[in-house]
A and B are shown apart, each in its own frame.
Chain A
């Protein structure tokens, strides 16, 4: 069965302030969705809600038609913004922990596979707090893809990386995309044109565009201009 993800009428507020307003979209396996918007638009909050870090005030998030719970989170892989990691661990210890806590039966093989995909063999036994930002992000990505999740949520996966690191990260994401739903939350618009096939634009907590990349790019001369027109025009 092909994996589906559905967000239905999601509302979320913190301290009485509405962060997300009636967020609705569906995604199916094989899609790479660029979830874009200005800073503070609600991108990260949406990613956190999908991953069960926060709970929505109302609405439903469903995977394969079933509302998300502790068990269905096993189908999700998540790279949080900034790729936070425990600096006192080595990538090996981190991935072993992730495999252990997820109860992976063939942990060793899956760790090797994830390590090869993100190419961190050379730093596998090095303490994470001694690694470069690029390697740290790759280790975090390895943690997110370790269990071969059906849905992969990447929050600003290339933010802060140098151009070479960005290229490698995008290649890795493309390589693992097959048969998965991948949602990339980003404010780097290049990401959308280079690896996404669908664009969801969020502004002030509400979705203002949801279309294929090609349709989105037809709206104006280039993606920067389209982004500016839609977000500033909407009162950002």
Chain B
């Protein structure tokens, strides 16, 4: 992929050219630790694991990931810099992957800043590090899935607020599909079959398995397919904007 490295470097640097990435990392780490301590009672439970830290990630990501990714395409469309990108001798896929990987790198960096918590519980007790590692992997995959959603939606509108709100909503839908209250409502309205169908798309359910130490194959396949689908959708939107789809 010609130019992928250049696009990645440009996009990654752009996160740190403004306070965005710094604020994102600092606030996410602070809020997730605060939630784990205050609501998850990580200290009171006296358990040497990070489940009470991970359990809030689906809800945090519903807000945090769209906030990070809302500018991916929308800013280029608003300022006109998309004309520079589209006139370069690089493919649409290269642009999408480069932008996506840059956002992913910021997410990876953010989770790295959560590693001291992992170290801390190792000091406090006997930890099953495999379980914690699976939790971090699941958390990363879930964030990657939400970033793909945000990227696709950011290709639709040049308003970052619109992108943020729509992305939060879509991400929340995929989290909510695992909630008993939502599943019961689906069963009531559409029957058992619909409930089973909704469960397939419950991101929170897949993530729950990871946070309990499993690395389920269906979970991996789900996340990869989910990401590929949304990135593909983003590509379709870009191709549509460029008049390639007739």
- Interface residues in chain A, defined as those with a beta carbon under 8 Å from any beta carbon in chain B: 12, 14, 48, 51-57, 70-74, 76, 78, 80-82, 84-89, 93, 97-98, 100-103, 143
Contact = CB atoms under 8 A, between A and B. Distances in A.
Contact of A52 (B10, B17, B87): B87
B88 A73 contact: yes
Contacts of A82: 80
The number of chain B residues touching the other chain, given as a range, is 20 to 34
A117 B93 CA distance: 33
Interface stretch (B1-9, B140-148, B211-219): B1-9
A84 B81 contact: yes
A2 B86 CA distance: 26
Contact of A51 (B5, B81, B86, B244): B86
A88 B10 contact: no
Contacts of A74: 89
B84 A143 contact: yes
Interface-central residue, B3, B86, B244, by most chain A CB under 10 Å: B86
Given A70-B90, A73-B89, A12 B243 contact: yes
B5 A53 contact: no
Nearest to B78: A84
B44 interface: no
Interface in B87-110: 87-91
Nearest to A90: B17
Contacts of A87: 79
Given A51-B86, A70-B91, A103-B3, A84 B13 contact: no
A23 B223 CA distance: 47
A88 B243 contact: no
A103 B2 contact: yes
B14 interface: yes
B6 A101 contact: yes
B17 A88 contact: yes
Contacts of B3: 100-103
A81 B87 CA distance: 13
Nearest to A86: B81
Contact of A89 (B2, B17, B88): B17
Given A102-B88, A102-B89, 9 more contacts: A53-B82, A53-B83, A70-B89, A73-B89, A80-B83, A84-B81, A84-B84, A86-B10, A88-B14
A177 B142 CA distance: 52
A81 B80 CA distance: 9
16 contacts: A14-B243, A51-B86, A53-B86, A54-B243, A55-B242, A56-B243, A71-B89, A73-B89, A78-B83, A82-B80, A85-B84, A86-B79, A88-B17, A89-B10, A100-B9, A103-B2
A42 B13 CA distance: 36
Contacts of A52: 86-87
Contact of A97 (B10, B83, B87, B242): B10
The 4 closest A-B pairs by CB, nearest first: A84-B80, A88-B17, A100-B6, A101-B6
Nearest to A71: B89
Nearest to A82: B80
Contacts of A101: 3, 6-7, 10, 88, 90
